[in-house]
């Protein structure tokens, strides 16, 4: 994505590289690539590239002062730089720019996007009659008690696309109906989300089905105009790059299977074969593993979301806001079913792809569902001590697990096809933290002292405990007379 943004600014093209050999590009410049008629493109949607381009243009004078010596990430050094040194005539292009731009965009764009959503979620829920304690709990479960925390520290297309979509939904679901500006902005954000990460179209479609009937005809038009305009631009990109408005980068992906995986009979290219790019019938076994599996089970990484799921099911009996919980459950079920259909025709598929790339924390392809599960927490009676203690305990465990995910250095695990010790990432990371102590990756790679890192971790722990304490407070009174949830 970022290499493509650099090309877009410097050379005014979406073609990723002047190099004609996709293998060289794959090994020295970018992992996610697509190839058509000898031209190499980014292997994902263009939205994140377009969004990053103005940031690169503004930061280019600063980035130009650094060379590849600034790159401390072991994946960059051991993969791209090493491959470039062994391939005749090849050389890493703008590697330092990509590396630094990823760090800066995480700090300037993704992290504020996620943090502001948490604050807005609390305000949205309290504006609809929810007490501050359960509203805070839902926000904490989303931002600190789930993989959202980890992905907010990188330029992740999932964090970016769904962060934009979540904000759009809050704007369009405002009490009394959204203003004209909110309708236009909401439609634009939903369209941008699809252009950044194609599976976000599921959330966009469900959101429109839920929200548009509640809006007047003028508001619906204001939402749909920017959304359709951005989708038309996306189709034009597909036509220019891949020969059809309906052809995506995934239809032209280029893969090289690492030798350790190839020896085990795995072929990465086989995962996305065919016109349906690897989609098959839903698999109940995969759904179960996505929810409860030791490798990337959503509820193993965030047990508080299981309580939120129960709250959404409980909310189906509440006539006043049954549709809200039905919408939340529809989002969860749709993404669970969709991800259970990906590449399951390939034996051993789960060793590599279930739940997302295994060098990352949590089942990232279920990222979209996190706040919709967390909202279910508000359905419990927080005046009851048992309900508060259960929610507080699960929040504490979830926060501990996901804060731990941010406290190891830049590369600690890979798919368990590379090693049996990685079948249970939580245990693996716990051993690393016990043996080597916690780290703040962004500070660690620049050689910041251990004391400064510990101070940062202590501050994060303090803020987390404060938020947990707020969420554990008993509501001041009965909310039944003020419940104005949509």
In a domain, 246, yes or no: yes
In a domain, 247, yes or no: yes
* Residue 239 shares a structural domain with residue 257: yes
In a domain, 478, yes or no: no
* Residue 127 shares a structural domain with residue 94: no
In a domain, 274, yes or no: yes
- Amino acid 120: pLDDT: 93
At 276-325, the pLDDT tens digits run: 566 778 888 888 888 998 878 899 999 999 999 999 999 998 877 889 99
* Residue 268 shares a structural domain with residue 316: yes
The two tokens of residue 26 are 């794959």
| More confident call, 341 vs 420 | 341
Name the domain boundary from 57, 79, 98. 98
Name the domain boundary from 63, 98, 133. 98
pLDDT at 183 > cutoff 90: yes
pLDDT at 478 > cutoff 50: no
At 68-123, the pLDDT tens digits run: 777 766 667 777 777 777 776 555 567 788 888 888 888 889 989 998 999 999 99
In a domain, 346, yes or no: yes
Q: What is the mean pLDDT of residues 360-377?
A: 90
Beta bridge partners of 36: 39
In a domain, 137, yes or no: yes
At 455, is the pLDDT very low, low, confident or very high (cuts 50, 70, 90)?
confident
pLDDT at 222 > cutoff 70: yes
* Residue 213 shares a structural domain with residue 360: yes
> Phi and psi of 244, rounded to 5°?
-160, 145
| More confident call, 48 vs 437 | 48
Angle between helix axes 385-404 and 425-436 (nearest 10 degrees) is 70
Query: How far apart are alpha carbons 113 and 116 in whole angstroms?
Result: 5
* Residue 432 shares a structural domain with residue 361: yes
- Amino acid 96: pLDDT: 80
* Residue 91 shares a structural domain with residue 103: no
What lies within 8 Å, CB to CB, of 281 at 6+ separation is: 341, 344
pLDDT at 396 > cutoff 70: yes
* Residue 410 shares a structural domain with residue 280: yes
In a domain, 218, yes or no: yes
Angle between helix axes 303-315 and 385-404 (nearest 10 degrees) is 140
* Residue 194 shares a structural domain with residue 59: no
* Residue 341 shares a structural domain with residue 458: yes
Name the domain boundary from 98, 124, 153. 98
* Residue 46 shares a structural domain with residue 106: no
In a domain, 483, yes or no: no
Domain count, the chain: 2
Expressed as residue numbers, the domain containing 288 is 99-472
* Residue 13 shares a structural domain with residue 130: no
Query: How far apart are alpha carbons 269 and 60 in whole angstroms?
Result: 35
- Amino acid 293: pLDDT: 84
pLDDT at 429 > cutoff 80: no
* Residue 306 shares a structural domain with residue 404: yes
- Amino acid 475: pLDDT: 57
At 228-259, the pLDDT tens digits run: 999 999 999 999 999 999 999 988 888 887 77
């Amino acid at each position: 994505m970022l290499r493509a943004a650099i090309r877009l600014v410097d050379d005014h093209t979406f073609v990723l590289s002047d190099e004609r050999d996709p293998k060289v590009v794959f090994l020295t410049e970018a992992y996610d690539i697509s190839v058509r008629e000898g031209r190499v493109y980014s292997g994902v949607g263009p939205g994140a590239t377009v969004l990053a381009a103005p940031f690169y243009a503004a930061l280019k004078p600063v980035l130009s002062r650094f060379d590849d010596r600034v790159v401390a990430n072991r994946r960059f050094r051991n993969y791209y730089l090493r491959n470039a040194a062994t391939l005749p005539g090849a050389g890493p292009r703008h590697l330092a720019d990509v590396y630094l731009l990823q760090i800066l965009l995480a700090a300037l764009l993704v992290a504020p996007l996620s943090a502001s959503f948490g604050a807005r979620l609390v305000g949205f829920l309290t504006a609809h009659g929810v007490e501050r304690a359960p509203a805070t709990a839902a926000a904490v479960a989303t931002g600190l008690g789930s993989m959202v925390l980890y992905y907010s520290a990188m330029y992740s297309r999932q964090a970016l696309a769904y962060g934009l979509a979540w904000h759009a939904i809050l704007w369009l679901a405002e009490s009394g109906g959204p203003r004209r500006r909110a309708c236009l902005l909401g439609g634009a954000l939903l369209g941008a989300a699809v252009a950044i990460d194609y599976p976000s179209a599921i959330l966009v479609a469900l959101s429109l089905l839920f929200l548009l009937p509640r809006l007047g005809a003028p508001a619906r038009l204001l939402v749909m105009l920017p959304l359709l305009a951005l989708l038309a631009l996306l189709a034009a990109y597909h036509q220019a790059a891949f020969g059809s408005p309906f052809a995506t980068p995934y239809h032209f992906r280029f893969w090289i299977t690492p030798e350790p995986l190839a020896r085990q009979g795995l072929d990465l290219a086989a995962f996305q074969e065919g016109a349906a790019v690897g989609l098959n019938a839903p698999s109940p076994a995969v759904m179960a593993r996505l929810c409860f599996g030791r490798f990337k089970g959503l509820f193993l990484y965030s047990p508080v979301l299981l309580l939120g799921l129960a709250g959404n099911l409980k909310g189906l009996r509440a006539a006043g806001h049954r549709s809200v919980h039905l919408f939340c459950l529809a989002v969860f079920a749709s993404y669970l079913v969709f991800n259970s259909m990906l590449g399951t025709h390939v034996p051993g598929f789960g060793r590599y792809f279930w739940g997302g790339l295994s060098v990352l924390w949590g089942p990232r392809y279920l990222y979209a569902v996190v706040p919709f599960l967390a909202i279910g927490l508000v359905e419990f009676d927080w005046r009851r001590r048992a309900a508060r203690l259960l929610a507080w305990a699960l929040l504490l465990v979830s926060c501990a697990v996901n804060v731990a995910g941010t406290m190891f250095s830049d590369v600690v695990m890979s798919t368990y096809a590379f090693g049996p010790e990685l079948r249970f990432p939580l245990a693996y990371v716990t051993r690393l933290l016990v043996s080597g102590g916690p780290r703040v990756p962004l500070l660690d790679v620049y050689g910041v002292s251990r004391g400064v890192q510990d101070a940062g971790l202590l501050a994060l722990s303090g803020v987390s405990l404060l938020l947990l304490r707020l969420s554990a407070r008993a509501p001041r009174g009965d909310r039944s007379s003020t419940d104005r949830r949509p």
